[in-house]
Amino acid sequence: METIEYRCVLVRPHSHAVLAFANDGRYHLPRVHISRSARPAREVQRAIKARWGLNILVLDIWVAQHGLRACAVAERLTPEMASTFDEVPAEQLMSSELHEEEYRCLKLLLEGRPKTLFSHIGWIDEAIAWTESTTGRTFCSSRCVEQWNGGGDFELLRMRSDDGRHYWLKATGEPNAHEFAITRLLWKLCPDFLPKLVSARDDWNAWLTQDAGDPLPDAPSQDELVAAAKRMAALQLLTIGQTDDLLAAGAFDQRLPVLRSHIDAVIAYLIEAMARQTSTKAAPLSRDRLLDLGEILRDICFRLEALDIPDTLIHNDLNAGNILCNGGRCVFTDWSEAAIGNPFLSCERLCQLNASHQIDVHSVYRESWFSRIGEVNVDHAFALAPPIDTYAYLYGRGDWLGIRGTRPEFDSYARSLARHMDHATQSRQLRGLLCH
């Protein structure tokens, strides 16, 4: 498992002293290692608690730069002191542990002038006070706060009241500030399919919801996946005819004509990305193969359009963690990647959660849609959707097209999706359909 080392600037809220330990006549920041794929704020909070017994809240995350490791700036939430540490002024760490630019950002934070709303010391006290006022419950201990995401202008907190009830507080900034408006609209259109709203704050771009159950496991069972598919299909049917309102709220436009109009640009990028490949683990797709792939995608778009399937809401980040279940009732969370498009793309993504239950998921969508478009067209949609689903996932918001400069990690990601698209077009059922 690949890990990242984080320097941890742990700040006392009143004195603004930083916890450090002395070694060889110099002060050093504590360090933790967490998985590269994990949520940084959550894992740093857990690692600090596990190693030194300290409760913290991450205020900001600084990426690695100037030869230094990544850094997490956090507020200490409890007065307990680990004997390992000394309390030192931040300036004593500038030459040895903090770059000049980092020290400048830290100084602004300590002076109450942080770069983002949720980076200032004491913000968590305001959050707890708001939660208490809106729920009518008490949250006396800082141990009630479990940070899932944080750092910068977004937060995701799980908070436990003194009587054992759980709530989620989420706040978003750019590039996901639109999630607040989309989620608000969905509470209006289909509240039964989202966690129950407790309250919202425009000044924080934040909302508070009741706990809605546990996420699906990474490989859902047949019953779990069927339940999720029934709920998603029902939700999508409720959003037919709401395209304009959803787009106005910030949902991305992934309707088939839009996807089709960007195929040439995406294929041109993939040709360049394949040419930049240095790894020998998988052979790059040739320029000719990618051009053929573009034509196949275009043909699929036209054929899907001909089925005259109404556009609906698409979740676009339909992973198991965003499907919450309490008994047989499923709700959906995290709508930052919400889009408008063909509903059978969501069907395909549900199938990918556990391919062994594809037939069962298809049965759910067949039952939901055959009366609107006919059973033959439903079967055609099942065959046509997989390559376009992967293409739509790559296209995403479309905001990355035209960006200049090398992006090695995105190149690698895009090459992998291109191979998935290419593989999906080899389906016997799809090829037979495209020949007619």
DSSP letters along 4-36, please? Answer: EEEEEEEE-TTT--EEEEEETTEEE--EEEEET
Query: Nearest CA to 209 among 147, 158, 143?
Result: 158
In contact, 36 and 102? CB cutoff 8 Å: no
In the predicted structure, residue 69 carries a pLDDT above the cut 90: no
In the predicted structure, residue 262 carries a pLDDT above the cut 90: yes
Least confident of 162-176, 303-317, 398-412: 398-412
Average pLDDT of span 81-91: 82
Percentage of the chain beyond pLDDT 90 is: 74
**Would you state the pLDDT for residue 240?**
97
- For the chain, the structural domain boundaries read 3-118, 123-210, 215-434
Query: Nearest CA to 211 among 195, 227, 198?
Result: 195
Burial of 38 (0-12, 13-18, 19+ CB in 10 A): middle
**Would you state the pLDDT for residue 354?**
97
pLDDT digits (tens, 9 = 90+) for 123-163: 999 999 999 999 999 998 767 899 999 877 889 999 999 99
Query: Nearest CA to 349 among 305, 393, 379?
Result: 393
Q: How far apart are CA 115 and CA 157, in angstroms?
A: 20
Residue 312's SS3 state is strand
Tokens of 187: 């509470």
Q: Which of 37-41, 92-96, 179-183, 405-409 has the highest mean pLDDT?
A: 179-183
Whether the model clears a pTM of 0.85, i.e. scores above it, the answer is yes
Fold for 215-434, please state it. Aminoglycoside 3'-phosphotransferase; Chain: A, domain 2 (3.90.1200)
Fold for 123-210, please state it. Phosphorylase Kinase; domain 1 (3.30.200)
Q: How far apart are CA 334 and CA 30, in angstroms?
A: 33
φ, ψ (nearest 5 deg) of residue 52: -125, 0
pLDDT digits (tens, 9 = 90+) for 284-304: 999 999 999 999 999 999 999
Question: Average per-residue pLDDT in the chain?
Answer: 92
**Would you state the pLDDT for residue 82?**
62
In contact, 180 and 205? CB cutoff 8 Å: yes
In contact, 350 and 361? CB cutoff 8 Å: yes
Residue 310's SS3 state is coil
Q: Give the class (CATH, top level) of 3-118.
A: alpha beta
**Residue-wise DSSP of 120-173:** STTHHHHHHHHHHHHHS-----GGGEEEEE-SSS-EEEEEE-TTS-EEEEEE--
In the predicted structure, residue 350 carries a pLDDT above the cut 70: yes
In contact, 334 and 322? CB cutoff 8 Å: yes
Tokens of 106: 């830290």
Q: How far apart are CA 259 and CA 342, in angstroms?
A: 11
Q: How far apart are CA 294 and CA 296, in angstroms?
A: 5
pLDDT digits (tens, 9 = 90+) for 199-212: 999 999 999 999 99
Query: Nearest CA to 35 among 27, 46, 25?
Result: 46
